Amino acid sequence: MTFFSRVVGWSLPLMPPPLVRWAAAPYVAGDEPADALARTAGLNERGLAATLALLGEEIDSRELAVEGTGLYVDLVDQLADRGLDCNVSVKLTLLGLKIERELCRDHLALLVGRAAERGNFVRIDMEDHTCTTATLDLYREILAASRARRAAGGPSGSGAGGDAVGVVLQAYLHRTLADIAALPEGANVRLCKGIYVEPPSVAITDYHKVRRNFLASLEALFDRGAYVGIATHDNYLLRESAAIIERRGLAGDRYEFQMLLGVTENRRDALAAAGHRMRIYVPYGRQWYAYSTRRLRENPRIAGHVARAFFLRTLGGRDW
């Protein structure tokens, strides 16, 4: 991380909201579900799948957890009604994880149940390390319940093997290879580097070692028969992942690539044109300011990207 990125990371959250919003605009679809649905339709027209994420996390009231869950259930219905190629991504703290585990479990069960009924899929985002164990436990619990319902004649989700729920693992955590070994059979996992600033006691801090652990985790996930969402914009990891897929002779029912809205669109389009399934993570909602500033403060590297965008856009540059 450069000195410039650190300075920008520190100062960007102090910028006036309109400026933050302007700089962050390419990363967020808009305030309302209609904005996100319109953006999704546009991505689908270009042959790209999507996953919608309502912004908001770490909420501290039951009312907000109930409201957030209801908004997600509505979203699943709207996606099905419009026939969009799009699932949803959710943070468990938005469903009440930090308020009460059982409340969060009930909300997640409701959402995953609706996703199965509507032939869709819920991806549980991974938050900071204080949430990892609870998130993986809830994933296993809800997946088992959902599979049991399916075995008894209940509905199937749109995930590989008919599952309606999947989870995320972060390559920077020391524990990730052990977590992979403890995954249920046929798990559906998004693999990413990890965005939160974590202490060295829980996370690898060296950039190249994180890359190595990403590839080791990818191999371990494939060894265990998982369906993997390979979530990165890192050219090196994209190349190496594609090589692993080719060497193993994997078909499109074992993996997809995933990228964030507005990031490295050339790489995204090139992978899709080469025949790989590509899914775009589309965040939306009124909590964009808190989300953007927190991300910038947590990870100044991203702030560097935003600052670069700011200058390039000011200068009329396009592809950043």
Q: What tokens does 266 get?
A: 């050339």
Q: Is-contact 59 93, C-beta < 8 A?
A: yes
Establish if 173 lies at the interface with ligand FAD (CB under 6 A). Answer: no
- 12 scored as a contact of ligand FAD (CB under 6 A): no
Tokens 């959902």 found at: 146
Give catalytic residue positions. 125, 190
Are the C-beta atoms of 74 and 111 separated by less than 8 Å?
Answer: no
Q: Does 125 bind ligand FAD (CB under 6 A)?
A: yes
- CB 63 to ligand FAD: min, Å: 25
Sole binder of ligand FAD in the list 234, 240, 269, 298 (CB under 6 A): 234
CB of 183 to ligand FAD, least distance (A): 16
**Contact call for residues 254 and 228 (beta carbons, < 8 A):** yes
**Is 259 among the residues that bind ligand FAD (CB under 6 A)?**
yes
Nearer to ligand FAD by C-beta: 115 or 131?
A: 131
Rule CB under 6 A: say whether 302 interacts with ligand FAD.
yes
Residue 179 sits in the site that holds ligand FAD (CB under 6 A): no
Interface with ligand FAD, residue 281, by CB under 6 A: yes
- Does 157 bind ligand FAD (CB under 6 A)? Our answer is no
Describe the chain by its helix, strand, coil percentages, rounded to 5.
55, 15, 35
DSSP secondary structure string for all residues of 297-315 = HH-HHHHHHHHHHHHHHHT
Is there binding between residue 288 and ligand FAD (CB under 6 A)? no
- Long-range Cβ contact pairs of 36-43 (< 8 A, separation 24 or more): 36/282, 36/284, 37/78, 37/79, 37/82, 37/84, 39/261, 39/282, 39/284, 40/79, 40/84, 40/86, 40/282, 41/82, 41/84, 43/280, 43/282
Q: Is 231 in the site for ligand FAD (CB under 6 A)?
A: yes
Per rule CB under 6 A, is residue 118 in the interface with ligand FAD? no
Residues with Cβ within 8 Å of residue 30, at least 6 apart in sequence? 36, 39, 284
Stretch that binds ligand FAD, among 98-106, 111-119, 193-201, 217-225 (CB under 6 A): 193-201
Contacts of 134 (CB under 8 A, 6+ apart): 92, 97, 101
CB 187 within 8 A of CB 167: yes
170 binds ligand FAD (CB under 6 A): yes
Q: 79 or 214: whose CB is closer to ligand FAD?
A: 214
Q: How far apart are CA 167 and CA 178, in angstroms?
A: 15
Cα separation, 19 vs 48, in Å, equals 29
Which one among 6, 233, 294, 313 touches ligand FAD, defined by CB under 6 A?
233
User: Stretches 68-76, 79-87, 130-138, 225-233: which one binds ligand FAD (CB under 6 A)?
Assistant: 225-233
Q: Which of 193, 218, 283, 292 binds ligand FAD (CB under 6 A)?
A: 193
| Contact window for ligand FAD (CB under 6 A) among 69-77, 144-152, 229-237, 240-248 | 229-237
Residue 182 carries which DSSP code? T
How many of the chain's residues bind ligand FAD (CB under 6 A)? 23
Q: Could you list the residues that contact ligand FAD (CB under 6 A)?
A: 125-126, 168, 170, 190, 192-196, 231-234, 258-260, 263-264, 281, 301-302, 305
